[in-house]
Chain A
Amino acid sequence: GQQLNQSPQSMFIQEGEDVSMNCTSSSIFNTWLWYKQDPGEGPVLLIALYKAGELTSNGRLTAQFGITRKDSFLNISASIPSDVGIYFCAGQLGAQKLVFGQGTRLTINP
């Protein structure tokens, strides 16, 4: 099946630091999405990207749809304790076809 390679798999940072993570694929996607999963909960959509090159922000979060349509990036500025969780990228090939990355687990030291 389709594979998304998400990196890094885990991050340990200090509160206040900026965070960067990315997702790459061998396939082209029409849409890229970023979800966050809090402990014990289901993922929640953070940002959706629809066009190659698109840069979209949601508060301290900024995500970009790569020009090649095979990658996407998520940045978190000035991290705070509530940013802790697992971040998933997902690519959409068509209706009902979402492929998820393996996730990036973010841990923040106060």
Chain B
Amino acid sequence: NAGVTQTPKFRVLKTGQSMTLLCAQDMNHEYMYWYRQDPGMGLRLIHYSVGEGTTAKGEVPDGYNVSRLKKQNFLLGLESAAPSQTSVYFCASTSYGGEKLFFGSGTQLSVL
């Protein structure tokens, strides 16, 4: 089983550029999440989805947009990247209510 797959694994952007991070899960999970991980900050929730066609804001949503057009995919978009968005991004999914999350291996993003 592939589980949760994130692409790309690494990316370098210039300030103002846009990009989309893709998350795909093959476990038929209803709930999907995007987190960012920064040193000393733990994992902070950006956006989440409780089902196909639904999205909701998390703790740090500003500067990001998401879409869940298909149940297995959750996309995270940066319309105009800023250096403050340099981080490691993790996608996660679960069939429960936010408890036993399955994480992808992360995307390391640098914005110069």
A68 at the binding interface (Cβ < 8 Å) = no
Q: Which A residues touch B50, using CB under 8 A?
A: 95-96
Once A1-B59, A100-B42 are accepted as A-B contacts, the answer to whether A42 and B99 lie under 8 Å apart by CB is no
B98 at the binding interface (Cβ < 8 Å) = yes
Verify B40–A92 contact, CB threshold 8 A. Answer: no
Chain A min CB distance to B14 (Å): 25
A45 at the binding interface (Cβ < 8 Å) = yes
Once A42-B4, A43-B103, A96-B48 are accepted as A-B contacts, the answer to whether A4 and B98 lie under 8 Å apart by CB is no
| A-B contacts at CB below 8 angstroms, number | 58
Instruction: Tell me the B32-56 residues at the A interface (CB within 8 Å).
Output: 33, 35, 40-45, 48, 50, 56
Bound CA span A44–B43, Å: 13
Verify A102–B45 contact, CB threshold 8 A. Answer: no
Once A96-B48, A96-B56 are accepted as A-B contacts, the answer to whether A45 and B101 lie under 8 Å apart by CB is yes
Q: Interface range on chain A: under 10, 10 to 19, 20 to 34, or 35 or more? A: 20 to 34
A 39-53 to B, binary, CB cutoff 8 A, 1 in contact else 0: 011111100100000
Q: Considering the complex of A and B, which 10 residue pairs feature the smallest CB-CB distances, nearest first?
A: A42-B103, A95-B97, A100-B42, A100-B43, A96-B98, A102-B42, A1-B59, A42-B90, A43-B103, A98-B98
- Give residues in B with beta carbon < 8 Å to A: 4, 31, 33, 35, 40-45, 48, 50, 56, 59, 90, 92, 97-101, 103-106
- Give residues in A with beta carbon < 8 Å to B: 1, 4, 6, 9, 31, 33, 40-45, 48, 88, 92, 94-98, 100-103
